[in-house]
């Protein structure tokens, strides 16, 4: 009996210590604790409940802060959630299944002016997409519109469509690569009024679909973005649309994202391009598998078709021919392409072989003791020499081609 009481007391003391760690919400300490193989949080329900209650309270504080300060940096909280919902990490299955603060993630997207925060939120949603119960969640309309906006980048409600490569219209190689080059990017919004896009997300979540009946004379509405950075992107979108008192809607969402892209390209062009392209690639990858889920469940199938329609996958391999693109985004493109189980077209296969040839085209310039390192010359046909020399990219190309080759052997 004494031993039982001693063990019970020790367990109680250990749990109180864990609660103190949770209360402190020191991300590094909590991260290390959750990564332990035998951590008690997932074994004891009241500790699990206590952890996720504290996470929800953190989200509440972040959202209150963002409402008055849209540039507030909540990245540490989101990185913590992203790491613990990542499918490749130990113990993350438990965290991913217990995490349920999706509504708060969308509130963060509503108020933040930081595209990096958009990226982190979407990484979390991407991690959890396979376990979200689509038949029970009311935020599905909002999720689908978010994916549509990311997939379309600035093309949604725009008469002049642009491809991802057009974000690099100032690249030295751009003119020779493009069949229909542009002179500049434009971010004006164009749509027909009346529109269903001004139905609020609250209405869409309640109804599960658009219910506004469109009637009367249709006319083109054009919104020109005039922005002096004196107000938040949300407030500016409300003012431009003359919807100061209306709840958040897809129309505001579309315009807000376009405002942030425009601001981002002026403030930090490379980082903004990386985020836009990354979000496009990830959303396209998710949308393919998502439609199958909706069809299988017989829910939101019509809404999916109304919002998303047919996804058109452009050949983004022409991005490899640019000089000024960040190699990181090309590695991400290869990773997403490698997860596509469909066989590559003949044109893509030829391009893939040229990439391999570029990686293997190196030769030593000279054996000179006065030159440090191992000087190489590249006879590349697609990649610029700086890209051909990037070790992360060349490694990514070799891994990608190995995956493609293995897939083709399986399919034969």
- The tokens of 350 are what? 């030829």
pLDDT, residue 365, reads 45
DSSP string spanning 14-47? HHHHHHHHHHHT-HHHHHHHHTSTT-STTT-HHH
CA 263 to CA 226: how far, in whole Å?
A: 11
Residues 250/197, Cβ–Cβ less than 8 Å: yes
pLDDT, mean over the chain: 84
Bridge partner list, 223: 189
| Per-residue pLDDT tens over the stretch 337-378 | 777 655 556 667 777 778 878 777 665 444 544 445 445 565
Residue among 384, 344, 310, 325 at smallest CA distance from 164: 325
Q: What pLDDT was estimated at residue 82?
A: 94
- Residue range 245-271, pLDDT digits in tens: 999 999 999 999 999 999 999 999 999
Contacts of 44 (CB under 8 A, 6+ apart): 15
Structure tokens at 192: 């027909």
Question: Rounded to 5 degrees, what are φ and ψ at 360?
Answer: -95, 5
Model pLDDT, residue 371: 44
pLDDT confidence band for 320 (50 / 70 / 90) = very high
* Distance, CA of 287 to CA of 253 (rounded, Å): 19
Sorted by where each begins, the domain ranges of the chain are 17-322, 346-411
- Does residue 175 have a cis peptide bond before it, meaning omega lies within 30 degrees of 0? no
Residue 220, beta-bridge partner list:
192
Q: E strand or H helix at 223, and its extent?
A: strand 219-223
Return the pLDDT at 239: 96
Buried b (16+ CB within 10 A) or exposed e, 159-197: eeebbbbbbbeebebbeeebeeebeeeebebebeebbbb
State whether residue 158 is helix, strand or coil.
coil
Q: Tell me if 69 sits within 8 A of 76, measured CB to CB.
A: no
Q: Is the pLDDT of residue 8 over 70?
A: no
Q: What is the pLDDT of residues 124-174, one digit of tens each?
A: 998 888 777 665 667 888 999 999 999 998 888 888 888 999 999 999 999
């Amino acid at each position: 009996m004494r031993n039982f009481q001693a063990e019970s007391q020790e367990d109680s003391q250990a749990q109180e210590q864990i609660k103190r760690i949770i209360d402190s919400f020191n991300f590094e300490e909590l991260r290390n604790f959750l990564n332990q193989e035998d951590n008690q949080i997932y074994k004891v329900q009241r500790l699990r409940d206590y952890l996720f209650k504290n996470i929800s309270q953190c989200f509440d504080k972040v959202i209150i802060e963002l409402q008055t300060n849209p540039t507030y940096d909540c990245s540490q909280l989101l990185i913590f959630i992203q790491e613990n919902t990542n499918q490749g990490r130990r113990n993350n299955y438990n965290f991913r299944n217990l995490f349920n603060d999706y509504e708060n993630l969308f509130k963060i997207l509503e108020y933040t002016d930081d595209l990096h925060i958009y990226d982190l939120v979407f990484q979390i949603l991407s991690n959890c997409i396979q376990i979200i119960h689509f038949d029970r969640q009311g935020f599905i309309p909002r999720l689908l519109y978010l994916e549509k906006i990311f997939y379309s980048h600035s093309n949604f409600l725009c008469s002049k469509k642009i491809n991802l490569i057009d974000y690099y219209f100032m690249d030295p190689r751009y003119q020779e690569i493009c069949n229909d080059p542009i002179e500049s990017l434009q971010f004006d919004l164009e749509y027909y009024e009346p529109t269903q896009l001004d139905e609020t997300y609250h209405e869409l979540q309640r109804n599960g679909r658009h219910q506004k009946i469109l009637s009367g004379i249709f006319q083109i509405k054009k919104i020109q973005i005039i922005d002096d950075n004196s107000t938040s992107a949300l407030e500016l979108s409300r003012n431009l649309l003359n919807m100061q008192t209306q709840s958040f809607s897809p129309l505001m969402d579309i315009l807000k994202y376009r405002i942030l892209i425009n601001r981002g390209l002026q403030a930090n062009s490379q980082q903004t391009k990386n985020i836009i392209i990354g979000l496009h690639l990830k959303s396209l990858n998710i949308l393919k598998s998502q439609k199958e889920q909706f069809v299988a469940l017989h829910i939101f199938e019509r809404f999916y078709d109304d919002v998303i329609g047919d996804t058109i996958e452009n050949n983004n391999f022409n991005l490899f021919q640019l000089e000024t693109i960040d190699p990181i985004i090309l590695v991400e493109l290869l990773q997403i392409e490698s997860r596509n189980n469909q066989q590559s077209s003949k044109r893509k296969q030829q391009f893939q072989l040229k990439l391999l040839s570029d990686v293997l085209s190196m030769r030593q310039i000279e054996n000179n003791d006065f030159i440090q390192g191992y000087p190489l010359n590249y006879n590349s046909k697609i990649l610029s020499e700086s890209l051909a020399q990037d070790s992360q990219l060349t490694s990514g190309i070799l891994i990608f081609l190995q995956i493609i080759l293995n897939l083709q052997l399986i399919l034969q």
